[in-house]
Structure 1
């Protein structure tokens, strides 16, 4: 409620809604400057993006057991370096994605993200925290998380036994996440998409986001099996898909033609209302750069409408992670 008052004239009281939650303006002043450039999603006709999948690596304060197996990524990846590039290529906000750190360092990683968020004019607008829904102490862990910072949770599953997400306690805790109005990112290999569907079906109160288009084997030409599993998973309306850094799965000599069938199938399956964008930086640097992945994205969606591009770029992310009020 908003009140505008004057002692002589009285008060005007009205209800307002935040612009990202409103329908597009349809009359007057250039349709209200094309609905304020689609709620700041566009500038000069070019989509401005919220990066929903940024990894930061700080080895001096957080342990990442998997890094030693990926020499190309085994170094610090700083927010300063990312932010410099991000501002140049049209990224206006970012969500930090947990980096599968050691379990004992989850709280430290969240504190680190909070510190980055508090910097002046920071692009960082929230974090997706690591989680261990299989642990008995999961509910108290949720209680300790700062709702102003933590916008969702993820448990990396592609490196874990397939039955982990089939455990009753695991699923109960995912439902607990959903009960708090927070989404859960699904990080599975393409062969595990059916298992992901089982988890989604068991937790119909929870919003899910499928990371990295379901990790297709683009380099190996694994389209047929992946595409049928994606189409099946997309039938669940509480599942969204993240188009994030898929060049990493396409081999070093990828072109747009390698990526296009996979990205277009994701959009066709989930629709423009259930897709978001992520850089997957620094993993995207395995076969590209952040700038190249953004350029590829802009080329892949060039034929979409302004409204559609706005949804992928930022609009859907604002809704899914409740960023509209930030």
Structure 2
């Protein structure tokens, strides 16, 4: 059994995905009907659906989708963490159809100009409400924002922080530092986990190889350990450079040295534990 801990869906007739460049191959609908046969062919039986845009309507739609399809075991949605009634809003979301599938919240921190956005008092209040509700927080950040992630995780030990896409290291350039040092500082905190996801997107789209990804995969394996790592396809963003099956195959090559127990952690057990699937 394999759990895909990170993928998306979108329907451009419902709303625009304004982060997608105008002529990108991603500028079309990607639905669960598109993903399901690919996941099945790859042996993936459960997934975590992750937010894409910062609008309140998306999360209820994703919860309803999870309610209707067994493939989706959990949803990482979006809500405004700074709203004064954040605790009540989280409770409201959980009462919606499919509300039991809400497992975490994510915000596009990578787009925030303040590198210490996570440390703002109003954001910290929202993060505390997530912890009180038993939810996780997904971190989509750039390398220069990792120190703030570590500070936030250190001051909120009761909240699990899940780092998406390894913190977006500069794989295309081949540089490891200062990303690696910042990542290790975050991984030193026991309430943090990391997704083996998004690597092909950060690599050179025209010429990347498994060898290009290996130093970054090895860094997170050493820093977090298999018990705090989980596979994520980042479908359909990954399709710019690799198919769903290819991404899973490459990730398995990068983790070929793991024991059976460690392999189970990365491809199933960690996601089940972190997201209470």
| TM-score, structure 1 normalization | 0.79
What residue number does 2:66 align with?
A: 117
Match among 137, 141, 161 for residue 89 of structure 2: 141
Structure 2 regions of 5+ residues with no counterpart? none
Per the TM alignment, residue 70 of structure 1 is displaced from its structure 2 partner at its CA by 6.7
What residue number does 1:150 align with?
A: 102
What residue number does 1:263 align with?
A: 217
Write out aligned runs for 1:1-326 (5 A): 48-68=1-21, 71-101=24-54, 103=55, 106=56, 108-119=57-68, 122-146=70-94, 147-162=99-114, 163-252=116-205, 253-323=207-277
Structure 1 distance, partners of 2:197, 2:151, is 23
Per-residue displacement from partner, 1:197-228 (whole Å, max 9, x unpaired)? 12212222101100001100100122121111
Structure 1 distance, partners of 2:21, 2:138, is 24
| TM-score, structure 2 normalization | 0.93
Larger Rg: 1
Structure 2 distance, partners of 1:116, 1:168, is 33
Secondary structure class of the residue paired with 1:50: strand
Per the TM alignment, residue 149 of structure 1 is displaced from its structure 2 partner at its CA by 1.8
Per the TM alignment, residue 165 of structure 1 is displaced from its structure 2 partner at its CA by 1.6
Structure 2 distance, partners of 1:261, 1:82, is 29
Change in 2 beyond 3 A, CA 1:72/1:150: same
Structure 1 distance, partners of 2:199, 2:143, is 13
Per the TM alignment, residue 68 of structure 1 is displaced from its structure 2 partner at its CA by 4.3
Per-residue displacement from partner, 1:103-127 (whole Å, max 9, x unpaired)? 2xx2x3223223322436x311121
Structure 1 regions of 5+ residues with no counterpart? 1-47
Change in 2 beyond 3 A, CA 1:240/1:79: same
Per the TM alignment, residue 133 of structure 1 is displaced from its structure 2 partner at its CA by 1.0
RMSD of equivalent CA atoms: 1.6
Q: Is the 8 A contact 2:168 2:198 kept in 1?
A: no
